[in-house]
Chain A
Amino acid sequence: MPIFVVALSWLFTERELWAHFSTVLLPNLISATMVLLIGVGLGVTLLGTLLAYLVVMVEFPGRRWLEWALFLPFAIPAYVLAFVYLGVFDYSGYVQVWMREVLGLPGFDIRTGPWAIILTFVLVFYPYVYMMVRASFKRQKINIIEAGQLLGASPLRVFFKISLPMARPAVAAGLLVTLMETLADFGVVSLFNFDTFTTAIYSAWGDFRSIEVAAQLASLLVLVAFFLIFFEKKARGQAKYYSNDVSNKKPYYVLGFVGWLISLFVFCVFMLSFAMPMLQLIIWGWASMGEEWSVKYVDLIISTSVLTTLAALITVSIATILALPSRCKRNSPWLKSLISMATLGYALPGSIMAVGLLYGINQVSAISVYFGGQSINHIIFGSIALLLFAYVSRFMAIGYSSIKASAEQIKPVFTQSARLLGASYLRLIWKIYLPMMMPGVLAGGLLVAVDVMKELPATYLLRPFGWDTLAVQVYELSAEGLFERAAIPALIMVLFGAVLMLIFQLLDQKSSKNL
């Protein structure tokens, strides 16, 4: 629905403002956004795939715990990480002060050029690619790799000719999610003062009070998302990779010096993307504990958990229904386009989507009043249902892709044998599909939960009275420059996220043992 509202906006145009936007802002913004997308895309693909390959295919010192530690950065909201990086690495941060005073190097503004913000995005979003590609590598039959080795292929050749092509769908899926998140981001880009397409949307709305132009710009964003989804479908290609074999045997053992080098590299990624930011948050949080901690945190934690749980449950239920393998061979094209629509919400900035929702409801009310009915605004606005609806539309993509991946693991032969044993469609779903999809369903639910917990813009606009979340608290404090105090809700949030990621990891291990 938000997308529909956004598309409708083209019926109303404001020529003068458009002219200003298209001549002054858009040329730069489009190229900046492209640079950002390409940089982040390349970065997460390289880093995510490389890390996944190392932990799955290579045995090196410390691999076992690094394998799950690499999931943890997913628990840190992007804006919190950006915040810490600026604090630590910018001109006045510890690192540069040390470089100037001890090494005598000149200082520099890390926000110049796109590389620092690209790096930040890569470090927050690589877990998406890592997560999906790792699962895909794990399902690659070890004998295919061994066959490659026996044919005399070097490890690099095996990687490029066998492992990587087979993981292509997973890389594409992870990349898609990352790019959509990057497009929708407002927090990180505003901290770095890096102008993207989203900046223009906010400017149209906030500065020029033009919901119409904002919606028109947003619809261009949706177009880009369409494009990305199309490419992801292409990248998936026709190949189907059915394999339930999971092997914990590693094809490559690298001990000694090179092994330690690999460990060091992976450890550095973990330090930079999780341990170091956590340490900074803990230092800040410690200093402000007495001032900030109070019973209201019980409320914050309760509302965050309730919203998170409900949103994850609803999203996962809908995504599961959408992802169920159809009993016949083909999905109807109608269903396919419905699914694409349902997952598009991910590319819309949260507050644009939220405002779109409010307008949509207002239109419904207007129609209802026109036909002599009552306005529903006061019932829907500020109700938890609206907020949940926003979460579900926004995070459907993430739940769906995880669940779909597990649905694709179900070989058609299971459907066929179940049917020949007299199973009705319902029984097929209940006894065969759902249990076989369960790892994906749980994983999708946890990912959605972590994302909902971190979500700020839609929550901030749509939440009912008394439903402040931890993310809202982080924002309110940091917007006023009270970073030390903001560290406390941020830490609680990361802690919850980390616990969810650990559960995810445990489930993942369990499911790989069973199949």
Chain B
Amino acid sequence: MLSVNHLSIVYQTTQVLSEFDLSLATGDIFALTGDSGSGKSSALRFIAGLDEAQSGRVILDGKQLSNNGVHNIAPELREIGMVFQDYALFPHMNIKKNIAFGIHYLSNNKQKARIEELLLMIGLEGVEKKYPHQLSGGEQQRVALARALAPSPKLLLLDEPFSSLDKSLQEQLVLQVRDILKKTNVTSILVTHDKREATIFADKVGMIENKQLTIN
């Protein structure tokens, strides 16, 4: 389903990641951990097509998205969804419009049905008309998840999605999100610095140490 090969990343002059290889099957939930500055977020952003790298190839569902550290296909055409640490919900749009952003090509009725389905899944029915700043952090992050899932991406990337939330909320949400991802059977990669969170969330956990990836 997804294979990443020979990914090497250099920050300014220091090599942080060298010859990173990863392959995942459909529906896999993978977590990537490591200390800050270990290059785990950069690896994720390379897969998303947002940042370039020194070398590396990404093949998703048989399509070569990037090669030699350069992207062949722009982020908007990759069918990859992403959830960011600080939610990144568009502040000028209400929840409904935020979620609909990636599925504007559907008819109004289909959009509506999809949004209702997603809100039901994340347990936030009836918030369509609200604006992001009227929701709590945990609620916003669930909406961000719904928004990323709306276009049914082939791959979902989660970049420290739980780290700006309260401890008590975190654990609850980790499990809830895991359930949702399992239900939708979307291949996912979570980046987190919290090893416990990684083990609860993922089927497979990878750890970056000394520029190398080890998977246990």
On A, residues with C-beta under 8 Å from B are: 244, 411, 413-414, 416-424, 427, 431-432, 435-436, 438, 514-515
Given contacts A413-B84, A413-B86, A431-B101, contact A419 B74 (CB under 8 A): yes
Say which residue of A416, A422, A423 sits within 8 Å of B50 (CB atoms).
Answer: A416
A414 B101 Cβ-Cβ under 8 A: no
Contacts of A422 in B (CB 8 A): 76-77, 79, 102, 151
Interface presence of B29 (CB below 8 A): no
Chain A residues near B48 (CB, 8 Å)? Answer: 416, 420
Contacts A417-B148, A422-B151 given; 20 further ones with Cβ under 8 A? A413-B84, A413-B88, A414-B88, A416-B82, A416-B84, A417-B84, A417-B144, A419-B76, A420-B50, A420-B78, A421-B81, A421-B102, A421-B151, A422-B102, A427-B104, A432-B90, A436-B92, A514-B91, A514-B131, A515-B133
Question: Which residues of chain B come closer than 8 Å to A423, judged between CB atoms?
Answer: 76, 101-102
Decide: A420 and B90 in contact? CB cutoff 8 A: no
From the candidates A421, A436, A438, A514, name the one contacting B101 in the complex (CB within 8 A).
Answer: A421
A420 near B86 with CB under 8 A, answer no
Task: With CB as the reference atom, state the residue of chain B lying closest to A515.
Answer: B91
When chains A and B are docked, how far (Å) is the Cα of A431 from the Cα of B93?
9
Q: How far is the CA of A438 from the CA of B93 in the complex (A)?
A: 13
Interface pair B101/A420, CB less than 8 Å apart: no
Any A CB within 8 A of the CB of B80: yes
> Counting chain A CB atoms within 10 Å of each CB, which of B77, B86, B91, B93 scores highest?
B91
Interface residues of B (CB under 8 A from A): 48, 50, 74-82, 84, 86, 88, 90-93, 101-102, 104, 131, 133, 144, 147-148, 150-151
Q: How many A-B residue pairs have CB under 8 A?
A: 66
Looking at the assembled complex, report how far the CB atom of B206 sits from the nearest CB atom of chain A, in whole angstroms.
22
A416→B101 contact, CB < 8 A: no
Shortest 7 CB-CB distances between A and B: which pairs? Answer: A421-B102, A419-B75, A413-B88, A417-B88, A435-B92, A419-B76, A420-B82
Once bound together, how far apart are the Cα atoms of A435 and B90, in whole Å?
A: 10
Taking the closest CB of chain A, its distance from the CB of B43, in whole angstroms, is 15
Q: Which of B76, B79, B101, B144 has the most CB of A within 10 A?
A: B76
Which B residues are CB-close (under 8 A) to A413?
84, 86, 88
Name the residue among A418, A419, A421, A436 with the largest chain B CB count within 10 angstroms: A421
Contacts of B74 in A (CB 8 A): 419
Q: How far is the CA of A417 from the CA of B83 in the complex (A)?
A: 8
15 contacting pairs across A/B (C-beta < 8 A): A413-B88, A414-B90, A417-B147, A417-B148, A418-B101, A419-B75, A420-B80, A420-B81, A421-B147, A421-B150, A421-B151, A422-B102, A424-B76, A435-B92, A514-B92
Q: Is the CB of A416 within 8 A of B75?
A: yes
Looking at the assembled complex, report how far the CB atom of A425 sits from the nearest CB atom of chain B, in whole angstroms: 8
B82 touches A244 (CB 8 A): no
Residue of B nearest to A427 (CB): B104
A435 (CB) vs chain B CBs: closest residue:
B92
Q: Please name all residues of chain A whose beta carbon is closer than 8 Å to the beta carbon of B82 when the two chains form the complex.
A: 416-417, 420
Specify which of A413, A422, A435, A514 lies most central, judged by the most chain B CB atoms within 10 Å of its CB: A422
A179 to chain B: closest CB distance in Å?
34
| Complex contact A244–B91 (CB within 8 A) | yes
The minimal Cβ–Cβ distance linking B212 to chain A, given in whole angstroms, is: 27
Which residues of the partner chain B approach A420 to less than 8 Å between Cβ atoms? 48, 50, 75-76, 78, 80-82, 148
Most buried by A among B75, B81, B93: B75
Q: Which residue of B lies closest to A423 (CB)?
A: B76
Instruction: Chain B residues near A514: list those with CB within 8 A.
Output: 91-92, 131
What residue of chain B has the Cβ atom nearest to residue A420's Cβ? Answer: B82
Whether A436 and B78, one on each chain, are in contact in the complex, defined by CB atoms closer than 8 angstroms, is no
Least distance between A257 CB and chain B CB atoms (Å): 38
Q: Kindly list chain A residues whose C-beta atoms are within 8 Å of the C-beta of B150.
A: 421
Q: State the CA gap A515–B92 with chains docked (Å).
A: 7
Q: Which residue of B lies closest to A329 (CB)?
A: B51
**CB-based nearest B residue for A513:** B133
Contact (A411, B92) CB under 8 Å given A419-B74, A422-B77: no
Bound CA–CA A414/B147 (angstroms): 13
Kindly state the separation between the CA atoms of A330 and B80 in the bound complex, as whole angstroms. Answer: 24
Min C-beta distance of A410 to chain B, whole Å:
10
What is the bound-complex CA distance between A417 and B84, given in angstroms?
8
CB-CB < 8 A to B80: which residues of A?
420
- In Å, the complex CA distance between A37 and B202 comes to 64
The complex places the Cα of A432 from the Cα of B90 at a distance, in Å, of 8
Interface centre among A416, A436, A438, by most B CB within 10 Å? A416
Instruction: Give chain B residues whose Cβ lies under 8 Å from the Cβ of A427.
Output: 104
Chain B residues lying within 8 Å of A421, measured Cβ to Cβ, are 76, 81, 101-102, 147-148, 150-151
Inside 8 A of B144's CB, which chain A residues have their CB? Answer: 417
Neighbouring A residues of B102 by C-beta, 8 Å: 421-423
Residue of A nearest to B51 (CB): A329
Cα–Cα distance between A286 and B93 once the two chains are bound (Å): 50
Q: How far is the CA of A422 from the CA of B153 in the complex (A)?
A: 10
Closest CB-CB distance, B48 to chain A, in whole Å? Answer: 6
Give the residue name and chain of the B residue nearest to A431 (CB). Answer: B101
- Give every chain A residue within 8 A of B78 (Cβ-Cβ): 420
Residues of chain B within 8 A of A431, CB atoms compared: 101
Residues of B within 8 A of A244 (CB): 91
A414 to B144, CA, bound (A): 12
A244 to B76, CA, bound (A): 25
User: In whole angstroms, how far apart are the Cα atoms of A244 and B89 in the complex?
Assistant: 12
CB proximity of B80 to chain A, nearest CB, Å: 6
Residue in B closest to A436 when the chains form the complex, CB atoms: B92
Which residues on the B side are within 8 Å of A515 (C-beta)?
91-92, 133
By beta carbon, the residue of chain A nearest B150 is A421
Cβ–Cβ < 8 Å partners of A417 in chain B: 82, 84, 88, 144, 147-148
> Given the complex of chains A and B, what is the CA–CA distance between A435 and B93 in angstroms?
9
A contact residues around B81 at 8 Å (CB): 420-421
CB-CB < 8 A to B92: which residues of A?
435-436, 438, 514-515
Bound state CA distance, A244 and B87, in angstroms?
Answer: 14
> Shortest distance in angstroms between B166's beta carbon and chain A's nearest beta carbon?
16
Complex CA gap A436/B92 in Å reads: 7
**Which residues of chain B are within 8 angstroms of A418 by Cβ–Cβ distance?**
90, 101
Residues of B within 8 A of A436 (CB): 90-92
| Chain B residues with CB under 8 A of A411 | 88
Docked pose: A416 CA to B133 CA in angstroms = 20
